[in-house]
Amino acid sequence: MKKINFNFNTKIGMRNLKTALAVTLGLYLSDVLNLNTPIFTSIASISGMKNSFAESFNDFRVRMFTTIFGVVLGFLLSLIPAPHYLTPIVGGLGIIFIIYILVAFNLKDMVILSCIVYIASFVYPESQIIYGIERVLGTFLGLVVSLVINYLLSTPDVNENFTAIGNDSFFNARSALLNLVFTKEHDISNFESSFEKIKAQYKVLLEESNAPIHPDLDIENARRAIRAFDDIHLRFLLLNSIEEKPKLKPSIISRLEDKFHITLLNNGSLEGDINEMYNLHIKKILFNLENLRELLNINEI
């Protein structure tokens, strides 16, 4: 029997608290407004609470579309005067229609929710119109509550997160460069890992900028930083495939020793066009690092 370990040191996170607050407030509003929608409001409050405001806003659009689409289709198909034993077939045909339409319009992420709402509306034993109105109102109220709470309470600072991950990527790039030039190690795995993280954070930054309400975001600086990191990554991949140590030009040695405060004791023995290419890539990487130092406000290189 597998042993279950409980970690009593686990803290209650902010998202946990925000979700609970959204459900509580949604239930209160549903009661005060005399809406017969507590279950729909609670479901929407829970599902709509995401890590960032932009994610919550995107979920708001998806959930409202799937709710309205499913409710309307369920109501329309319930009007078909089919014998009772054929009703399940009509329900199945509706599922086929929903999946086909959403996949055709590249809205695959809406398929499951639309199917659930549709079938709930289709088999509702009482008035489909009443169910549809309650479902739409409850979902709307719950999503609005989660959206407002996520905006007002401890929304992650995407600018700060991007800069922090950018700093980590910068220093990993610097370490990878030093390993390539001064040692026989050719390990760029740490830089590649941080590079993937900053690309993901850049995507979050762009999503946040598309939200109707968002903080001041320096998208242009972030875009320039991503281009610089991408260029460094491509050059590292090329240099990483060359096992022989390069013979660096005096100008490159001078820049490296000046920037990194390290003395090159032994130069490499690589010659010819490959060595020229190696020096050019080192020069470009140094140029990108200098740009990143300014873009990310890094005091030391």
d(CA 211, CA 170): 29
Residue 301 above 60 pLDDT? no
Question: Averaged over 217-243, what is the pLDDT?
Answer: 87
Q: Supply the pLDDT for residue 257.
A: 76
pLDDT at 188 over 60: yes
Whether pTM > 0.95 for this model: the answer is no
pLDDT over 70 for what percent of the chain? 90
pLDDT at 160: 80
| Cα–Cα distance measured from residue 190 to residue 172, given in angstroms and rounded to the nearest whole number | 6
pLDDT at position 99 is 92
pLDDT over 70 (residue 213): no
Split at pLDDT 50, 70, 90, the class of 216 is low
Q: Determine the pLDDT at residue 4.
A: 62
Mean pLDDT across the chain: 83
Q: State pLDDT tens for residues 51-84.
A: 777 778 888 888 888 888 888 888 888 888 888 8
Confidence class for position 217, pLDDT limits 50, 70, 90 = low
Whether 3 has a pLDDT exceeding 70, the answer reads no
Structure-token pair, residue 230: 């991408």
Q: pLDDT at position 58, please?
A: 80
Q: What is the mean pLDDT of residues 233-250?
A: 82
Mean pLDDT of 24-35: 89
Question: Mean of the pLDDT values across residues 177-194?
Answer: 82
Query: What's residue 6's pLDDT?
Result: 62
Kindly report which listed range (39-48, 98-107, 187-196, 207-216) carries the lowest average pLDDT score: 207-216
Predicted pLDDT at 155: 61
Domain extents in the chain: 14-153, 158-296
Provide the pLDDT confidence category of residue 227 given band limits of 50, 70 and 90: very high
pLDDT, tens digit, 9 for 90 and up, residues 113-172? 888 888 888 887 677 788 888 888 888 999 999 988 888 875 667 778 888 899 999 999
Q: Which residue has the higher pLDDT, 263 or 32?
A: 32
Q: In the predicted model, is pLDDT for residue 244 greater than 80?
A: no
pLDDT at 255 over 70: yes
What's the average model confidence in pLDDT over 180-187? 74
Structure-model confidence comparison of residues 144 and 278, the more confident one: 144
Per the CB < 8 A criterion, the answer to whether 292 and 229 are in contact is yes
Provide the pLDDT for residue 215: 59
